[in-house]
Amino acid sequence: MRRRSFLTELFDYVRANKAWMLAPIIVMLLLAGALIILGGTQAAPLIYTLF
């Protein structure tokens, strides 16, 4: 049996249970995670000028 990723299972849960109110929360968490990851890279000065 193939192991599925967490995000795939989360999307399947949201779709199966019609829990679309979780979608904005998930998107914001993903964006915050991307911001944290990019904050430690060469893109950090660009991010700091945006805010």
Q: Give the mean pLDDT of 29-48.
A: 79
CA-closest candidate to residue 13, choices 27, 23, 28, 1: 23
Q: Are the C-beta atoms of 47 and 39 separated by less than 8 Å? A: yes
Higher-confidence position of 33 and 3? 33
Q: Which residue has the higher pLDDT, 2 or 11?
A: 11
Range of the domain at 40: 19-51
* DSSP string of 1-51, one letter each residue: -PPPPHHHHHHHHHHHTT-GGGHHHHHHHHHHHHHHHHHTSTTHHHHHHH-
Supply the pLDDT for residue 1: 55
Q: Examine residue 34 and state whether it is found in any structural domain, yes or no.
A: yes
Q: How many domains in the chain?
A: 1
Position 14 in a domain: no
pLDDT tens digits, one per residue of 8-37? 888 888 889 888 888 888 889 889 888 888
Number of C-alpha atoms within 13 angstroms, CB side, residue 4?
A: 8
